[in-house]
Amino acid sequence: MIQNNILVNLSNEDIEIKLLLEGIFLKYGYDFRSYSQAHIKRRILRRLTISQLGSISEMTYSVLQDRSFFEVLLMDFSINVTEMFRDPPFYKALRKDVIPILKTYPFIKVWHAGCSTGEEVYSMAILLREEGLYDRCQIYATDFNERVLQKAKSGMYSLDNIKEYTYNYQQAGGLTSFSDYYTVKTDSAIIDEGLKEKIIFADHNLVTDGVFGEMHVIICRNVLIYFNKELQNRVIALFCDSLTYGGILCLGTKESLRFSSYEEKFQAIDLKQRIFQKKFEA
């Protein structure tokens, strides 16, 4: 009876969205049911307009019958807003407060969760190289979307973006010329192959997959904002369990550990840049 009352309060459109997401989960195993409702709804309605389908119910039929259409929608759901050295003050804070910690380790494991097309992964690789740590690290870059992972692996980016990336690099405290880290081929900038040596790109879904090794650093910036509170808490639990004691967790500037069940397990290194350290056991 309680469940029925909940459904009565939903619009037909919201019910259609719930059925679409349930169908995607049952058919393909991707779980978007705990994503921010506002985010998912915007993406669905945008695709509905582009595809010229008559309703979300028609979209559900297309998704279940046509995998290629589902993959288009999957790209819509993916969070692919990224750039090299995005938010330069964050990278400055890494150099100042995190690198000295990492220099005390004989080997460093870094996890970029929700790595998208890889720009921020390569940014971290550059920073580690400049700080003399690249040769003793392993970087795991994961995303649930195979298409964006393939782009990340290629390390090819539009030359149109290089001016902005160069500016970001300089503002982030870069120690050399940004052009040292890529070569130009026609209209693309190709990341130096040496920066890929310590990076493993892999499929991992924060919603459905489990603990990812024992990491010294986890970077997941501007992903949690697309999840509802329950899912945010589950993912923070996953990060906590995946970090070594004293390990570093980096979130986006609009994300927080406040009000999560794991807030007390971390201390802030740089609260403004959302850099936290997992506390050692008492």
Maximum mean pLDDT: which of 149-158, 202-211, 226-235, 253-262? 149-158
Q: Which residues does residue 140 pair with via DSSP β-bridges, in sequence order? A: 111, 200
The per-residue pLDDT for 261 is: 86
Domains and CATH numbers, the chain: 2-77 (no CATH), 88-278 (3.40.50.150)
What is the percent of the chain where pLDDT is above 70? Answer: 97
Q: Which residues contact 33 (CB under 8 A, 6 or more apart)?
A: 18, 21, 22, 25
The per-residue pLDDT for 76 is: 87
What is the percent of the chain where pLDDT is above 90? Answer: 73
CB 242 within 8 A of CB 215: yes
Q: What are φ and ψ of residue 41, in 5° steps? A: -60, -45
Q: Is the pLDDT of residue 6 over 60?
A: no
Rounded Cα–Cα distance for residues 198 and 99 (Å): 17
Buried b (16+ CB within 10 A) or exposed e, 26-53: eeeebbbbbbbeebbeebbeebeeeeeb
CB 116 within 8 A of CB 148: yes
* Residue 30: pLDDT band with limits 50, 70, 90: confident
Q: Is the pLDDT of residue 2 over 50?
A: no
Q: Which residues does residue 270 pair with via DSSP β-bridges, in sequence order? A: 275
* Averaged confidence pLDDT in the chain: 92
* Residue 4: pLDDT band with limits 50, 70, 90: low
pTM of the model: 0.87
Q: Is the pLDDT of residue 252 over 90?
A: yes
The per-residue pLDDT for 248 is: 98
The per-residue pLDDT for 17 is: 94
Q: Is the pLDDT of residue 259 over 50?
A: yes
As a whole number, mean pLDDT of residues 130-135 equals 97
The per-residue pLDDT for 282 is: 60
More confident residue, 32 or 10: 32
* Residue 34: pLDDT band with limits 50, 70, 90: confident
CB 64 within 8 A of CB 73: no
Q: Is the pLDDT of residue 27 over 80?
A: yes
The per-residue pLDDT for 77 is: 86
- Beta strand extents in 4-147 (DSSP E only): 108-113, 137-143
As a whole number, mean pLDDT of residues 101-127 equals 96
Rounded Cα–Cα distance for residues 196 and 215 (Å): 19
Q: Is the pLDDT of residue 153 over 90?
A: yes
User: pLDDT, tens digit, for every residue of 190-224?
Assistant: 999 999 999 999 999 998 888 888 999 999 999 99
The total number of residues written for the chain in this structure: 282
As a whole number, mean pLDDT of residues 91-116 equals 97
The per-residue pLDDT for 226 is: 87
Question: Tokens at residue 97, please?
Answer: 């407060």
